[in-house]
Amino acid sequence: MELPELLAPAGDVESLRAAVANGADAVYLGGKLFSARQYARNFDEKELEQSIRYAHRRNVKVYVTVNILLDNTELQAAAEYLQFLYNAGTDAIIIQDIGLLYLARQVVPDLKIHASTQMTIHNLPGARFLSQEGVQRIVLARELSLKDIMGIHQGSSIELEVFVHGALCISYSGQCLMSSLIGGRSGNRGRCAQPCRLPYRLVDDTGKLATRTEKVGDYLLSPRDLCTLDLIPELVKSGVTAFKFEGRMKKPEYVATVIRVYRQALDRYLQDPGGFSVSTEEKQQLEQVFNRDFTTGYFLGNQGRELMSWKRPNNRGVYLGRVLSLNPAKVSVKVRLELPLSRGDGVEYWVTRGGRTGVAIDHIVLDGKEVDKAPAGSVVE
């Protein structure tokens, strides 16, 4: 059985090394030019050359994003940049602009091209068209189901790549104008302001609130994070060539954890497909490093409200336990733990009155005695 490639994000050199050390088969990264993550640290030309050599010595491929829309004044600089990437040994470029596809075929005909998810390829004719135009791989639109993906795989010979973990957009990738209209920064030029993570109110035509925010939440356009660890068997059977992980804006620790967990799970599936399972500990590792609550996205069909993170637009952490009582005067909380707790842990408690408060744990009282840690199932203050 041939397993899909694990393709890790690298927003900087440290993240690239974390990805390589934890089992990535390939990394994708952006240079200082023409990248859809302009707020990542990214790589200058010297760092690009050094990183490509570093990865290649460890049998890891490097794909460089050139995935924004270009105007006519940028084409000469883009052509020169493509030539530099080819000379540096880039394994493939990831592009959105159809014009850049034409230009790349003229300037660097031997450089492999991957179509970005920003190109919104979501059906078989789109895949066949790009195959005819010399594209080696498509990063499929994130709105496709497993059935959709399998249909494209069976009807074409082009390589297929899908996002399997990380942040999701509320809009079609590459088709969103919200950031430009609300934030004044174009997501299609690498400067997304993430307006989908802002609070909104849903009102009727009279201006009256149509939702109760205390029950629904304020973040009406904020999706959960994608997690497909349980779907590894189905994704492998769908025929995808590569598992892609979102996260070029994330820290190296995030990249290391996510790639390690999926690497171990994928290798385990290879060894014993019929006995594959995912442990609670693996899921907790993914939750702890970053989550907005998890969803399987559209792989199993339209999930409706289960796609959304209305209560919170940023990291939730892991569920620690239930608040039994709150003493604001003593700044203390009594909690029934569902996971172990240690002194120094950072926690956030949610209560009806007082909202959410984040604290670092400096005291733990268990059975009337101060302790350094407490086990799951205990009641502590």
What are the tokens at 282?
């693996």
Amino acid 330: pLDDT: 61
User: How many CA atoms are closer than 13 Å to the CA of 112, on its beta-carbon side?
Assistant: 14
Give the mean model confidence (pLDDT) for residues 77-83. 96
- DSSP SS3 for 174: coil
Contact in structure between 127 and 62 (CB atoms under 8 Å): no
Amino acid 36: pLDDT: 66
Contact in structure between 210 and 203 (CB atoms under 8 Å): yes
> Among candidates 94, 113, 219, 233, which has minimal Cα distance to 164?
233
Instruction: Please state, as a whole number, how many other Cβ atoms lie within 10 Å of the Cβ of residue 72.
Output: 7
Q: How confident is the model at residue 328 (pLDDT cuts 50, 70, 90)?
A: confident
Res. 20: pLDDT tops 90: yes
> Among candidates 133, 136, 126, 178, which has minimal Cα distance to 157?
136
Q: Which residues contact 131 (CB under 8 A, 6 or more apart)?
A: 156, 157, 158
User: At the topology level of CATH, where does 321-380 sit?
Assistant: Elongation Factor Tu (Ef-tu); domain 3 (2.40.30)
Residues 260-314 pLDDT 10s:
999 999 999 999 999 999 999 999 999 999 999 999 999 999 999 899 999 889 8
> Among candidates 162, 116, 155, which has minimal Cα distance to 135?
116
Give the mean model confidence (pLDDT) for residues 72-81. 95
CA–CA distances in Å: residue 102 to residues 108, 133, 157: 10, 8, 21
Amino acid 145: pLDDT: 98
User: At the topology level of CATH, where does 5-307 sit?
Assistant: TIM Barrel (3.20.20)
Which residue bears the tokens 């003593």?
A: 330
Question: What percent of the chain is predicted at pLDDT more than 90?
Answer: 70
For the residues of 178-233, what is the DSSP string, one character each? HIIIIISS-GGGT----GGGS----B-TTS-B-S-HHHH-S-TT-B-EEE-GGGHH
Give the mean model confidence (pLDDT) for residues 109-118. 97
β-pair type (341-342, 373-374): antiparallel
Res. 54: pLDDT tops 90: yes
Please provide the size of the chain in residues. Answer: 381
Res. 27: pLDDT tops 90: yes
More confident call, 318 vs 158: 158
Contact in structure between 300 and 345 (CB atoms under 8 Å): no
> Among candidates 81, 69, 104, 76, which has minimal Cα distance to 190?
69
The radius of gyration computed from the CA coordinates of the chain, to the nearest angstrom, equals 23
Q: How confident is the model at residue 329 (pLDDT cuts 50, 70, 90)?
A: low
Residues of the chain with CATH 3.20.20.70: 5-307
Residues of the chain with CATH 2.40.30.10: 321-380
> How far is Cα 67 from Cα 202, in angstroms, rounded to an integer?
34
Coarse DSSP helix, strand, coil percentages of the chain, rounded to the nearest 5 percent: 35, 25, 40
Contact in structure between 236 and 255 (CB atoms under 8 Å): no
Amino acid 191: pLDDT: 82
Residues 198-236 pLDDT 10s:
999 889 888 888 877 666 788 999 999 999 999 999 999
